[in-house]
Copies of this chain bind each other. A is one copy, B any other.
Amino acid sequence: MNTILFVFAFLSSYTFHVISSATDFCVADLSLPKTPSGSYPCKPEANVTVDDFVFSGLVEGKPVAPFNSGLTAATVANLPGLNGLDIAAARVDIGVNGTVPIHSHPDASELIIIVEGEVTVGFITPAKAYVKSVKPSDVIVIPKGLLHFVINSGKGKAVTFGALSSSSPGVHVADYLLFGNDLSTSIVAQTTLLDEAQIKKLKDVFGGKA
């Protein structure tokens, strides 16, 4: 009995000065404004449960047109326990002849784990494109910020998992940036030298304003 009493005294000594301010984790309070790093203030520890650290939707991303691929992801938006931990995960499913279009993650590197099928993965630098055909039990890394793509180069569907080094990674698909928003055709033409007809054709596909 005395032992237990002493233990609590000891614990409370440690607790009062040190543990009370420690940060074992910081589950996002998504209702508060986020900060430049992309993280959120912490929700009070008393309200945290193990479910804040679990996401149950990393299911098949149903492939859709025009690229015949689909994506699901676990980021801080649906897995608030990721907050501040600089990690996220994605699952990509690519139909036959499908691709993941050229895109970049401005704030994250990506490590792609091939789970099913055969894919050709590449990333692009000004000097050179690095392209490789990979298969299950291969992993390939895409350095932060570089444009990259995945092409289903096998005969069946393909499945990959991606680990990303940000808990709220952006996805900048080149086509959506150039042809899917309100950037005018003439600006795109002037600053890329693409033909206006080509631009208009793709704005039609990707939903950009004319």
Contacts and interface: CB of A to CB of B under 8 A. Distances in A.
Interface of A: 2-4, 6-11, 13-14, 17-26, 29, 32-39, 41-45, 49-51, 53-59, 61-62, 64-67, 69-79, 81-90, 99-102, 104, 106-107, 109-111, 113, 115, 120, 122-132, 134, 137-147, 149, 151, 161, 163-165, 167-178, 180-183, 187-188, 190-195, 198, 201-202, 204-207
A193 B205 contact: yes
Contact of A171 (B8, B18, B132, B139): B18
Contacts of A99: 190-191
Contact of A126 (B33, B75, B180): B180
Which of the listed residues A3, A14, A198, A207 has the most CB atoms from chain B within 10 Å of its own CB? A14
A131 B50 contact: yes
Contact of A85 (B6, B143, B191): B143
Given A18-B169, A66-B6, A163-B87, A143 B174 contact: no
A53 B193 contact: no
A4 to B, nearest CB: 6
B66 A7 contact: yes
B22 A168 contact: yes
Contact of A35 (B3, B9, B26, B195): B26
B3 A65 contact: yes
A165 B176 CA distance: 27
Contact of A177 (B9, B22, B147): B147
A178 to B, nearest CB: 8
B34 A181 contact: no
Nearest to A5: B65
A58 B140 contact: no
Contact of A87 (B111, B134, B181): B111
B109 A86 contact: yes
30 contacts: A2-B65, A3-B205, A6-B66, A9-B65, A10-B65, A10-B67, A13-B62, A13-B70, A14-B171, A18-B90, A18-B169, A19-B171, A21-B75, A21-B167, A24-B170, A26-B34, A36-B85, A50-B131, A53-B140, A53-B142, A58-B113, A66-B193, A74-B139, A82-B141, A106-B145, A107-B144, A129-B181, A194-B194, A194-B202, A195-B198
